[in-house]
Amino acid sequence: MITLGDYLVVSAILFTIGFAGVMLRRNLIIILMSLELMLNAANLSLVAFSRFRVGPGGLPDYNAQVLVFFVITVAAAEVAVGLALLVALYRARQTTDVHDITSLKF
Amino acid sequence: MTSYHRSKDRAISISHHSSPLTHHSEMSPFLFWIFAVLTVIFGAAVVLNRNPVASALSLVVSFLGLSALFMSLDAFFVGIIQVLVYAGAVMVLFLFIIMLLDIRAEERRRINWLAAGGGIGVAVILLVQICVVIGHFKVARQPFPSLARSTTDDVWNIGRLLFTNYNLPFQIIGVLVLVATIGVVILSRREPR
């Protein structure tokens, strides 16, 4: 029997992979992809809780799924802006490596 | 009030052609583990691949597995949206940018093992902490409660919530997407020299 905890553990592993990607990788495109992984891990736990909290009508709690809808929309907008920033950065510096961007480095 | 009655009417009309008993729509554990392992392995491949194109394609496979997990939770609308937005739009955007900038696989640099070990250590500590919290969370050991019927018309329900309770956030999201569109156009415009 699959329990709520199984979905939460999968979500936690996925979030950790995304987090490790942001911490370890230097390519900005991969960092953006890892951000998407983290957002989707959060979505998975939201949907799992939505299915777990069955209301009196025998339906899942759709408030969480509306929140997932908003998260997906914001994530798509974020990717578009992030990639546009990446293109602008590449035009200015010819690099997508975060180690080459040191203007703000202390 | 009327919408509530309508939803009850729909509920009754739908329950005719489904079984009168409560419904266990859960995916079999075998399929759940297949899709969970697929999602996690290709998620890890996103981080581990050196070639950005391979990472983008792994991301899509990972999101397809995630969409199957959503559908196993009876969230069909979210699953379909996941495929449409990520496999359809976001992946094309990523691949297009990789193609436009002509990014090759990164050359091997000397890895700073201290920094890499620190990053992996923090990530592992985070994972262990979340797992400990889930382990202490007694509700997490219960199976999912069964739904009233097999077909949850979730597009209808989500749409009703979006246009009633969440109407203002929905419009704000529209403004956000508009601002993002304008911002992308301005950011990627070539400056006149």
Residue B41 lies in a domain: yes
Helix (H, G, I), strand (E, B) or coil at A48: helix
Whether residue B19 is predicted with pLDDT greater than 60 in this model: the reply is no
Q: Do A69 and B78 touch (CB under 8 A)?
A: yes
Burial level of A80, CB count in 10 A (0-12/13-18/19+)?
A: buried
- B9's enclosing H/E stretch is helix B2-15
Contact B98, B56 (CB under 8 A): yes
Whether residues B112 and B155 share a domain: the answer is no
Same domain, B49 and B99: yes
pLDDT band at A76 (very low <50, low <70, confident <90, very high): very high
- Asked whether residue B39 is assigned to any structural domain, the reply reads yes
Identify whether B187 is part of a domain: yes
Do residues B184 and B109 both lie within one domain?
A: no
Give the range among B95-104, B111-120, B144-153, B159-168 with minimum mean pLDDT.
B144-153
Q: For residue A34, give the chain B residue with the closest CA.
A: B47
8 A C-beta contact, residue B133 and residue A40: no
Q: Is B15 domain-assigned?
A: no
- B184 three-state secondary structure: helix
**Taking CB atoms and an 8 Å limit, are A19 and B139 in contact across chains?**
no
Residues B43 and B87 in one domain: yes
Whole-number Å distance between alpha carbons of B59 and A41: 13
pLDDT in tens, B131-148: 999 999 888 888 888 887
Residues B109 and B171 in one domain: no
Q: Which residue has the tokens 């700073």?
A: B112
B104 lies in which domain range? 28-116
For the segment B53-80, what is each residue's pLDDT rounded down to a tens digit? 999 999 999 999 999 999 999 899 999 9
pLDDT score recorded for residue B100: 87
Whether the ipTM is more than 0.95: the answer is no
Q: Cα A32–A34–A35 angle (5° rounding)?
A: 65
Closest CA to B98 of B56, B43, B47: B56
Same structural domain, B34 and B88: yes
Selecting from A15, A29, A44 the residue whose C-beta is nearest the C-beta of B94 gives A29
Minimum-distance CB partner of A1 among B106, B139, B143? B143
Contact assessment for residue B122 and residue A23, using Cβ atoms and an 8 Å cutoff: yes
Best B186, B187, B189, B193 residue to mutate vs chain A (most A CBs within 10 Å): B187
User: Exposed, middle or buried: residue A99 (CB in 10 Å: 0-12, 13-18, 19+)?
Assistant: exposed
The reply to whether B99 and B46 lie within a common domain is yes
Residue B2, domain member (yes or no):
no
pLDDT of residue B68: 94
Return the CATH number at B86.
1.20.120.1200
- Which of A14, A28, A35 minimizes the C-alpha distance to A78? A35
Residue B23: beta bridge partners? B147
Higher pLDDT, residue B51 or B13: B51
User: Residue B16: pLDDT band by 50, 70, 90 thresholds?
Assistant: very low
Task: Report CB contact under 8 Å: B11, A57.
Answer: yes
Quickly tell me which residue has 């620190």 as its tokens.
Answer: B118
All residues of chain B having their beta carbon less than 8 Å from the beta carbon of residue A51 are 73-75, 144
* Nearest-angstrom CA–CA distance, B141 and A9: 12
Domain assignment present for B132: no
Nearest chain B CA: its distance from A74 CA (Å): 8
Q: Are residues B111 and B67 in the same domain?
A: yes
Alpha helix ranges (H) inside B16-166: 29-48, 52-72, 76-82, 91-101, 113-136, 154-163
Indicate yes or no: CB of B59 within 8 angstroms of CB of A65: no
Q: How many domains does chain B have?
A: 2
Residues B37 and B110 in one domain: yes
The amino acid present at B101, given as its one-letter code, is L
The pLDDT score that the predictor gives to residue B24 is 54
Q: Which residue has the tokens 């297949």?
A: B34
Please list every residue in chain A whose beta carbon sits closer than 8 Å to the beta carbon of residue B169.
Answer: 70
Are residues B33 and B82 located together in one domain of the fold?
A: yes
Q: Clarify whether residues B110 and B155 are in a common domain.
A: no
Would B69 be classed as within a structural domain?
Answer: yes
- Which of B97, B116, B135 corresponds to the end of one domain? B116
The reply to whether B34 and B110 lie within a common domain is: yes
Q: Which contacts (CB < 8 Å, 24+ apart) does range B114-121 have?
A: B116/A24, B119/A20, B119/A23, B119/A24, B120/A20, B120/A23, B120/A24
Kindly state the DSSP code that residue B166 receives in the 8-state scheme: T
Examine residue B23 and state whether it is found in any structural domain, yes or no.
no
Partner residue facing A80 (CB), from B55, B166, B180: B180
CA distance A92 to chain B (A): 11
Structure tokens at B105: 């696989």
What DSSP assignment string belongs to B80-114? HHHIIIIIIIIHHHHHHHHHHHT--PPPP----HH
Q: Which residue of A has its CA nearest to B86?
A: A76
pTM here?
0.86
CA distance A8 to chain B (A): 7
Instruction: Specify the pLDDT at position A56.
Output: 81
* pLDDT at position A72 over 80: yes
Confidence of residue B101 (pLDDT cuts 50, 70, 90): confident
Task: Name which of A4, A36, A85 is nearest B142 (Cβ-Cβ).
Answer: A4
